[in-house]
């Protein structure tokens, strides 16, 4: 095994987006230190600009043949590039929404943006990680930034509680993941994904070796399930979603899911794809539990952030269901679902943020009462988002469920598909509750919208994109499939 890291400067440009982003972070961090309070907006614009440039750099690397650099610890392939571009777009949108929230609650600080950029860098490393160590490194950069981000509202007790809870549970998850990695490393003798893949696919593995791989596999799956928030490793999700400032919840519920799916693909598909028969059963149980629990428990929530947390758990169940099938199309379906989920979740939390006003925190379903009267346009947008999450055609959320169901049925799991659709109907009830609040209930509160025009515009485009993807899903499905 060749473990010497050869360093070739000509290969550096493969990692150009990451390198650029890191430099940008350093510049913004230093600049923010010296900026007068009046010019703090500059940090925001610079953040936005660096995300844009990173996105363009990543976009230019699409269709680049698969290249592995840095001694086999960093990979560039189509999945990495497309995920990165998508991640930049999602983060940019999230930043637009965040700005409104941060202003309304006097949380506008330079650190917020630097921490977001750092977590994005961590996620980029996760997406391109091709050795267990790189993946873990990326994960920790992400997690540490997120802990701090949640606690950024430091005078709020529930935010601190959420941060602490996330920190403790996240540390346990990282520990489990690391333990699983050490198992795999111990038996295969390499941290490199491709080495692990060739070791695991070896047909004459000794029973002892298979046993140890399986042992490590279980811990890896638990670690990944923790990060995705699948039942029964979901305990942190509702508390963190509810406690964190809404703009941070928005971020946590969207972009890191892309990275988590990427890590899942790297470890379980690229690395241990040959062990699919072993981990797919685990995934089956996790996903059915997630869909069921996420759908049922959400019914009882009155806090919309907590409700969306449970809804996320159920969506994660659907994403994992795509990996159960063990076919490339199935993985593509899961990726498509993930992309659509990110789009919907961005818009849903964006709507919550939109209703925030100076010093007024919106987090109850009842805060949406009478919206259709006071802001009919945004009520319509929320209607689209909620129906899409419920899986009603012709919205994007329907096709993502459809694609997963099609794969699950073609893999022969018809009962699973029936269970999934029944819970999808149950979950429709709580999405309808929000529509009911907006359209059927009256309120005497003043719920006029006080957001800047860019926020309103981006949110409208975001929601209409859900409809557009629903009407013409072909391109996005093909894109998701082309990554595998």
- Write out the DSSP string of 361-405: ---BGGGGTTHHHH-HHHHHHHHHHHHHHHT-TTSHHHHHHHHHH
SS3 107: coil
Of 74 and 378, which has the nearer Cβ to other proteins? Answer: 378
**Stretch of residues binding other proteins (CB under 8 A), selected from 1-9, 139-147, 353-361, 476-484:** 476-484
Distance of alpha carbon 390 from alpha carbon 161, whole angstroms:
31
- The answer to the question of residue 82 lying near other proteins (CB under 8 A) is no
Distance of closest approach, residue 429 Cβ to other proteins, in angstroms: 6
Of residues 159 and 390, the one with the C-beta less far from other proteins: 390
**Residue 478 interacting with other proteins (CB under 8 A):** yes
Q: Which of 16, 144, 289, 409 binds other proteins (CB under 8 A)?
A: 409
**Residue 418 engages other proteins in binding (rule: CB under 8 A):** yes
Q: Among 193, 439, 463, 465, which residue interacts with other proteins (rule: CB under 8 A)? A: 439
Find the binding residues for other proteins in span 369-408 (CB under 8 A).
372, 376, 380, 383, 387, 392-394, 398-399, 402, 405-406
Quote the tokens at residue 263.
Answer: 């890590």
Give CA 279 to chain center in angstroms.
21
Considering only 36, 155, 446, 474, the residue that binds other proteins (CB under 8 A) is 474
Q: Answer left, alpha or beta for residue 370, where phi above 0 means left and psi between -120 and 50 means alpha.
A: left
Instruction: Choose which of 169, 205, 218, 432 interacts with other proteins (CB under 8 A).
Output: 432
The residue with tokens 């006029």 is: 448
Q: Does 53 bind other proteins (CB under 8 A)?
A: no
169 or 421: whose CB is closer to other proteins? 421
- Is residue 36 left, alpha or beta, with left meaning phi > 0 and alpha meaning psi from -120 to 50? beta
β pairing state of 67-69 and 74-76: antiparallel
**Which residue of 29, 421, 464, 468 would you call a contact of other proteins, by CB under 8 A?**
421
| DSSP assigned state of 303 | B
Q: Name the minimum Å distance from CB 320 to other proteins.
A: 19
* Whole-angstrom distance, CA of residue 69 vs CA of residue 278: 30
- How far apart are alpha carbons 90 and 252 in whole angstroms? 11
User: In a 3-state reduction of DSSP, which class is residue 13?
Assistant: helix
Residue 320 burial class via C-beta count within 10 angstroms: exposed 0-12, middle 13-18, buried 19 and up = buried
Q: Does the protein bind other proteins through residue 429 (CB under 8 A)? A: yes
Number of residues that bind other proteins (CB under 8 A): 34
Which residue of 424, 455, 469, 483 would you call a contact of other proteins, by CB under 8 A?
A: 424
76 and 69 in contact (C-beta within 8 Å)?
yes
The binding site for other proteins (CB under 8 A) comprises 372, 376, 380, 383, 387, 392-394, 398-399, 402, 405-406, 409-410, 414, 417-418, 421-422, 424-425, 428-429, 432, 435-436, 439-440, 473-474, 477-478, 481
């Amino acid at each position: 095994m060749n473990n010497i890291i050869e360093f070739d400067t000509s290969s550096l440009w493969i990692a150009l987006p990451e390198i650029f982003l890191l430099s940008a972070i350093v510049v913004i961090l230093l600049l923010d230190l010296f900026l007068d309070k009046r010019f703090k907006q500059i940090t925001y614009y610079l953040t936005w600009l660096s995300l844009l440039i990173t996105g363009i750099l990543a976009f230019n690397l699409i269709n680049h043949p698969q290249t592995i650099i840095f001694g086999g610890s960093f990979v560039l392939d189509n999945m990495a590039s497309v995920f990165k571009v998508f991640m930049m777009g999602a983060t940019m949108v999230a930043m637009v929404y965040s700005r409104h929230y941060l202003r309304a609650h006097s949380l506008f600080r330079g650190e917020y943006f630097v921490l977001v950029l750092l977590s994005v860098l961590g996620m980029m490393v996760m997406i391109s990680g091709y050795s267990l160590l790189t993946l873990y490194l990326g994960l920790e950069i992400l997690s540490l930034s997120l802990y701090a981000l949640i606690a950024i509202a430091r005078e709020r007790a529930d935010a601190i509680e959420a941060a602490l809870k996330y920190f403790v549970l996240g540390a346990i998850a990282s520990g489990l993941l690391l333990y699983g990695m050490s198992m795999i490393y111990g038996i295969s003798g390499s941290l490199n994904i491709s080495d692990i893949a060739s070791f695991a696919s070896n047909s004459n593995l000794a029973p002892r070796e298979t046993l140890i791989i399986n042992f490590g596999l279980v811990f890896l799956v638990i670690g990944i399930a923790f990060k995705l928030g699948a039942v029964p490793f979901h305990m942190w999700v509702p508390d963190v979603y509810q406690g964190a400032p809404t703009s941070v919840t928005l971020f946590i519920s969207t972009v890191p899911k892309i990275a988590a799916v990427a890590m899942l693909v790297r470890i379980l598909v690229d690395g241990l794809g040959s062990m699919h028969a072993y981990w797919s059963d685990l995934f089956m149980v996790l996903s059915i539990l997630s869909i069921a629990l996420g759908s049922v428990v959400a019914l009882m929530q009155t806090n919309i952030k907590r409700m969306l947390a449970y809804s996320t758990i159920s969506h994660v169940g659907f994403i994992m269901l795509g990996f159960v099938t063990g076919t490339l199309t199935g993985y593509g379906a899961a990726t498509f679902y993930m992309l659509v989920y990110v789009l919907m979740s961005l818009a849903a939390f964006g709507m919550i943020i939109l209703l925030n006003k100076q010093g007024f925190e919106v987090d109850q379903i009842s805060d949406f009462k009478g919206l259709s009267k006071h802001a009919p346009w945004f009520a319509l947008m929320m209607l689209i988002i909620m129906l899409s999450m419920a899986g009603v055609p012709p919205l994007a959320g329907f096709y993502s469920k459809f694609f997963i169901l099609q794969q699950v049925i073609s893999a022969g799991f018809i009962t699973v598909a029936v269970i999934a659709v029944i819970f999808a109907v149950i979950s429709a009830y709580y999405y309808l509750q929000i529509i009911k609040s907006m359209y059927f209930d009256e309120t005497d509160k003043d719920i006029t919208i006080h957001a800047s025009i860019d926020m309103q515009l981006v949110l409208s485009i975001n929601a209409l994109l859900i409809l557009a993807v629903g009407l013409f899903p072909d391109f996005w499905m093909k894109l998701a499939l082309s990554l595998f």
